[in-house]
């Protein structure tokens, strides 16, 4: 096996680890958003069956959500 193939293999392994470090937390946040508190406490890594949408009803029912989102957009645009 050539030295170049070994180096390429190491580079790909590092890239895969980096992708997993970014993708796993995003996946966990996404599946947790669709779970009830009981489902989260029961098994944090399981898929949400059935989908629990009351979290989004609570979120979008708050009038200060628009103000908070606007602040986030301003801060992200400045920095």
pLDDT means per 10 residues in the chain (79 residues)?
A: 89 96 92 90 85 87 84 90
Q: Which two tokens stand for residue 66?
A: 């628009």
Predicted pLDDT of residue 51? 87
CB-based burial label for 35 (10 Å; 0-12, 13-18, 19+):
buried
What pLDDT is stored for residue 56 in this prediction? 87
pLDDT of 18 reads 96
| pLDDT at residue 69, rounded to an integer | 86
């Amino acid at each position: 096996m050539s030295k170049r193939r070994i180096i390429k293999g190491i580079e790909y392994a590092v890239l895969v680890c980096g992708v997993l470090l970014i993708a796993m937390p995003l996946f966990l946040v996404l599946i947790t958003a669709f779970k009830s508190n009981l489902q989260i406490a029961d098994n944090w890594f399981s898929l949400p069956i059935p989908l629990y949408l009351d979290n989004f009803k609570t979120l979008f029912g708050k009038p200060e959500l628009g103000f908070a989102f606007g602040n986030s957009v301003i801060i992200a645009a400045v920095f």
